[in-house]
Amino acid sequence: MLDPRLFRTELALVTEQLQRRHFAFDASAYEALESRRKAIQVKTQELQNERNSRSKAIGQAKAKGESVEALMAHVQQLGDDLKAAEVALADVQAAMTALMEGIPNILDEAVPDGKDESANVEISRWGELPSFNFTPKDHVDLGVSKGMEFELGVKIAGSRFVVLNGALARLQRAIIQLMLDTHSGEHGYSETYVPFLVNADSLYGTGQLPKFAADLFKASDDPALYLIPTAEVPVTNIVRDTIVEAKELPLKFVCHSPCFRSEAGAYGRDVRGMIRQHQFEKVEIVQIVKPEDSAQAHEELTRHAESILQKLKLPYRRMLLCAGDTGFSSSKTYDLEVWLPGQGAYREISSCSNFKDFQARRLQARWRNPETGKPELVHTLNGSGLAAGRTLIAIMENYQDADGRIHIPEALLPYMGGVTVIG
């Protein structure tokens, strides 16, 4: 959530910045609510002052032996008026909160203008695209004889589910293990295990609720619990309603989890194969840092995700997302896109985002500034390090041979129990 003071002091600037996102912010509606809030607040204060004054007058009149019936009736009426004003003030404040909850983060100044992904900016590329003396297959055609069963996924659960068997299941497990070992052993992240069901407060804190409820799978109503769309939610909520001492920062977490997404807005997109599933595996890396360190931490976290692709020798590019393609809570996002020969295209395999204090304000996640002794909001960052299913796809397509076999990347051999080729 944005700082409410920005709206009161720099409304024109906020409106201008939100226009970069092509977000329709109704400034006049906000101004009307703010004007009403101020008027009710002034009236409430006046009623409180008058009631206090009249109550004091009652005591003075009683001391003089004077009649106080009229004064008491007036105080009673003031009390009723005050209660009505407090209810009206609460209603206006609730309306303002609801309005604020639907407003996205202010973009970092480095984010380029643009309406959609076509305006994203390529920052760098790594690796040589593989050259084949045959027409490369996509992961669906490669996997059909190797234990990748989409029809069985449909039978068991429905569309956008898959069953992996045998060596492919082991390959995905090996990918996850490599990621966890690298981030915890080389990059300084602390491995954590978290619930895969979370409450509404947790999803509110990271920005999924209330705006993106349709993208979630709700598991129960009493209490309300949701399947996690990403480990970002439970891991970032570790610092909800806490004050972290400066010496403890940065906090760096790595977490493997399944992820569950309804893909409410994605029907008709990526219907073939494993690109867009309701259930998938991911290794998430999360950092909680001081505000002055978040820009540097964003670059570091992105390099950590890139290192997995480099270990696997998978060609990829880093993209800086434009204003219209940057996520609701993010201030700045890099997408890592891996090359898929079967599609002849780069596809997203990781999003690395700096949320600055947007999530922290909703979470009330703070650190104690030793210079002032006062708590201040932290900055939060996260990224996929990486999406395991898409990494599996990328290995299948980049390491295929003319006979449809899949060769295991060298970095994964220690995890494969002697298996060097699948198929």
pLDDT at 265 over 70: no
Which pLDDT does position 75 carry in this prediction?
77
pLDDT at 66 over 80: no
Which residue blocks in 157-229 are alpha helix, DSSP H?
A: 166-185, 200-206
> In whole angstroms, what is the distance from residue 96 CA to residue 75 CA?
31
Known active-site residue 307: no
Q: Count of CB atoms within 10 A of residue 222's CB?
A: 5
pLDDT at 30 over 90: yes
Nearest-5° Cα angle at 303, 294 to 185: 100
pLDDT at 267 over 70: no
Confidence of residue 58 (pLDDT cuts 50, 70, 90): confident
Closest CA to 191 of 244, 257, 146: 257
Is 353 annotated as belonging to a binding site?
no
Confidence of residue 266 (pLDDT cuts 50, 70, 90): low
pLDDT at 270 over 80: no
Known active-site residue 303: no
What pLDDT digit, counting tens, does each position of 361-396 carry? Answer: 999 999 999 999 999 999 999 999 999 999 999 999
> In whole angstroms, what is the distance from residue 376 CA to residue 364 CA?
9
Known active-site residue 361: no
Which pLDDT does position 81 carry in this prediction?
86
Confidence of residue 31 (pLDDT cuts 50, 70, 90): very high
Structural Rg of the chain based on CA atoms: 27
Catalytic member of 54, 276, 303, 317: 276
Known active-site residue 21: no
Which pLDDT does position 55 carry in this prediction?
83
- Of 65-69, 92-96, 328-332, which range is least confident? 65-69
CATH of domain 117-422: 3.30.930.10
Which pLDDT does position 59 carry in this prediction?
81
Catalytic member of 51, 170, 362, 390: 390
Confidence of residue 73 (pLDDT cuts 50, 70, 90): confident
Closest CA to 406 of 345, 341, 344, 347: 341
pLDDT at 174 over 90: yes
- Please state the pTM of the whole predicted model: 0.92
Domain positions in the chain are 26-102, 117-422
Q: Which fold has domain 26-102?
A: Helix Hairpins (1.10.287)
Closest CA to 315 of 138, 175, 124, 128: 128
Known active-site residue 131: no
The chain-wide mean pLDDT, for the chain, equals: 95
Catalytic member of 160, 261, 318, 362: 261
Confidence of residue 326 (pLDDT cuts 50, 70, 90): very high
- Of 41-50, 103-112, 308-317, 339-348, which range is least confident? 41-50
Catalytic member of 294, 331, 351, 353: 351
What pLDDT digit, counting tens, does each position of 8-18 carry? Answer: 999 999 999 99
What is the average per-residue pLDDT within 227-240? 98
Percentage of the residues of the chain whose pLDDT score is greater than 70: 99
φ/ψ (deg, to 5) at 230: -170, 155
What is the average per-residue pLDDT within 64-91? 85
